[in-house]
A and B are shown apart, each in its own frame.
Chain A
């Protein structure tokens, strides 16, 4: 694969993916990003590279996307309204991005016969009661009046669209469901818990926990994620859905304490109710842990870092 498209390439995961791809035999990486949540600073490290081409636009605003995609070998479609807080603040806009932009990308991929990796989210499981969330688990999302589920629903539509097109022989999609990815350069302003806690701890501000802190999460290292992406593309895992995450769980309260300890911080933990932050249109799953047997068996690759070393590395990077 010589010529790659990355939508949302200026984002957190996208820019890490470019960093990895640029060191391979890839000849050209076309980034399409409107910098709405992505940051030009994420791209500035590629200023000197002739491999990276950048179109500063929303995917759905690039007219003649078909022609723009001509001659490329693979598309990573990462552009999306991301993070529950961002979604809650940009409800209809992020819904439309997730559905319309994805549709346009699929159409352009179909015209040019380009396989596409689509990022979905652990949100699609909702509050599934299955003990372990495998790719075949039953989803349990809330009612439409709880608007936080609009994100999950929009991503489910993307998945359905990808799999339908695959079934009909029109598109070669790979779907990945991401579970709380963390790493250097992730922004705190869109409600991502780890960068938010670390920012607070480094400034000795109170760490604010939504709810009682007993909800647990599993965190995944961004470099592991991009390695999986590249591997799945190489292996042509078309028509398949994969969880990408880690099984080690940590409660939000323990995470806050770990961050405070790692930063040598004097921050205090403050608990507030969800309703005070998002109103009563919000629901939060109590735990969210993937079964990752499928991707581990398929690729032969296992996650490389535990939560302690991830936090340590992010803090070290932040202090640089």
Chain B
């Protein structure tokens, strides 16, 4: 007898993308087991705001666990969820910060991923979906970055190194096991409930509060901004893919930071005060995804235009302005 269940574990369910994914899967009828350490990498109030949107749903249960700690893995095993899918979205993000505290990034990214991969192997999870990042490609110039071809042996930041080693360890641990490893690599995701260290949200905050908009460099660096709803749609498609694979999830239409600022000005009708600062070390100029693989395999491409996405993010900021105003938008 085959017991059919639609339970899904999402680590980092109080995080930006994990939260959106949890909301989507619950709406689709999945039972979501959310896991998050609720650490203070950024303001916990934002995590709690996300969690409050999910609680009171009978298809959502939450466990506060830090997956870099082996005890947490034992606790997760004790729950005996029999979940067939594990979305490992928990990670410590931020390129700049990673150079300042590499050890924390190794724990939260590499060690936690190792633990999760082991958990999947031992409990017979059929798909591990491991969130990764475009950062591992480094600066691409005008070239489109292709999966399993353009990865750097030495990624350009501590953050990218810890994520890439997580990918490699998960694949190695689960090689020839019953667990598929599916790796979505995100390219500059933005949208409502985003993190305060992300450029679009900081720009919105500064502009709406008529503060100086700090731009590193001349602001002409372009990003593959991808709206979070598009990313979640891709993640849902990834779940049903039948073999281990890696997918770029991003946008080919790169947009400069200066253009983003213009869009925010238009949407809020406020003129910004831009201050250009020195570029951070090894902050790549542009990373462009080759999307042919995900298009062909999963029939996915991003559909949200940057203007719409920014507009929705501005609206969300205004709805939650009291809390969002009080967050810290400057790096520690």
Interface residues of A (CB under 8 A from B): 30, 43, 46-50, 52-56, 62-64
Q: How far is the CA of A48 from the CA of B1 in the complex (A)?
A: 6
- Find chain B residues with CB under 8 A from A52 CB: 1-2
Tell me the nearest residue of chain B to A50, going by C-beta.
B2
CB neighbours (8 Å) of B3 from chain A are 53-54, 56
A-B contact pairs, 21 of them (CB 8 A): A30-B4, A43-B1, A46-B1, A47-B1, A48-B1, A49-B1, A52-B2, A53-B1, A53-B2, A53-B3, A54-B1, A54-B2, A54-B3, A54-B4, A55-B5, A56-B3, A56-B5, A62-B29, A63-B28, A63-B29, A64-B29
By secondary structure, the A interface counts as loop
**Per-residue interface assignment for chain B, residues 1 to 34, with 1 indicating a CB less than 8 Å from any chain A CB and 0 otherwise:** 1111100000000000000000000001100000
Q: A63-B28, A64-B28, A64-B29 in contact; A55/B1 too (CB < 8 A)? A: no
Residues of chain B lying within 8 A (CB to CB) of residue A47:
1
Interface centre among B3, B5, B28 (most CB of A within 10 A): B3
Q: Is the CB of B28 within 8 A of A55?
A: no
Task: Rank and list the top 8 A-B pairs by shortest CB-CB distance, nearest first.
Answer: A63-B29, A52-B1, A53-B2, A46-B1, A64-B29, A55-B4, A54-B3, A47-B1
B: interface residue count bin: under 10
A234 → chain B, closest Cβ, in Å?
Answer: 25
Q: Which residues of B contact A46 (CB under 8 A)?
A: 1
Question: Which residues of B line the A interface, CB within 8 A?
Answer: 1-5, 28-29
User: What is the CA–CA distance of A47 and B1 in the complex, to the nearest angstrom?
Assistant: 4
Q: How far is the CA of A55 from the CA of B4 in the complex (A)?
A: 5
- Interchain CA distance A56-B3 in the complex, whole Å: 8
**How many Cβ-Cβ contacts under 8 Å join chain A to chain B?**
26
What chain B residues lie within 8 Å of A64 (beta carbons)?
28-29
Task: Give the residue name and chain of the A residue nearest to B58 (CB).
Answer: A61
Residues of B within 8 A of A50 (CB): 2
Shortest CB distance B147–A (Å): 30
* B189 → chain A closest CB, angstroms: 27
Interface centre among B1, B2, B29 (most CB of A within 10 A): B1
Q: Tell me the minimal C-beta distance from B50 to chain A in angstroms.
A: 22
For B2, the chain A residues whose CB sits under 8 A away are: 50, 52-54
Chain B residues, CB < 8 A from A56: 3, 5
Minimum distance in angstroms from A68 CB to a CB of chain B: 9
Q: How far is the CA of A64 from the CA of B27 in the complex (A)?
A: 10
Query: Chain B residues with Cβ under 8 A from A30's Cβ?
Result: 4
For B29, list chain A residues within 8 Å (CB).
62-64
Separation of A53 and B4 alpha carbons in the complex (Å): 6
List chain A residues, Cβ under 8 A from B5. Answer: 55-56
Of chain A, the residue at the smallest CB distance from B2 is A53
Q: What separation, in Å, do the CA atoms of A265 and B29 have in the docked complex?
A: 52
Q: How far is the CA of A288 from the CA of B3 in the complex (A)?
A: 39
Which chain B residue lies CB-closest to A43? Answer: B1
Chain A residues in 8 Å Cβ range of B4: 30, 53-55
Could you tell me the distance in whole angstroms from the C-beta of A71 to the nearest C-beta in chain B?
Answer: 14
Shortest distance from the beta carbon of B323 to any chain A beta carbon, whole Å: 32
- A30 to B3: give the CA distance in the assembly, Å: 10
In the bound complex, what is the Cα–Cα distance between A49 and B1 (angstroms)? 5
Apart from A46-B1, A50-B2, A64-B28, 6 more pairs, CB < 8 Å: A53-B2, A54-B1, A54-B3, A54-B4, A56-B5, A63-B29
Q: Which residue of A lies closest to B27 (CB)?
A: A63
With the chains together, A46 CA to B1 CA distance in Å?
6
Chain B nearest Cβ from A246, distance in angstroms: 32
Report how far A55 CA is from B7 CA in the complex, Å: 12
Collect the chain A residues with CB atoms within 8 Å of residue B1's CB. Answer: 43, 46-49, 52-54
Q: Which residue of A lies closest to B29 (CB)?
A: A63
Bound together, the chains give a CA A208 to CA B118 distance in angstroms of 58
Smallest distance from the beta carbon of B200 to chain A beta carbons, Å? 33
Alpha-carbon separation in the docked complex, A34 to B3 (Å): 13
In chain B, what residue has the closest Cβ to A29?
Answer: B1
Q: How far is the CB of B245 from chain A (nearest CB, A)?
A: 24
Who on chain B is nearest to A18 by CB? B1
Residue of A nearest to B3 (CB): A54
CA distance A54 to B1 in the complex (A): 7
List residues of chain B with CB within 8 A of the CB of A63.
28-29
A52's closest neighbor in chain B, by CB? B1
Alpha-carbon gap, A47 to B28, bound state (A): 29
User: Nearest B residue to A32 by beta-carbon distance?
Assistant: B4
State A54–B2 Cα separation when bound (angstroms). 6
Q: How far is the CA of A48 from the CA of B29 in the complex (A)?
A: 28
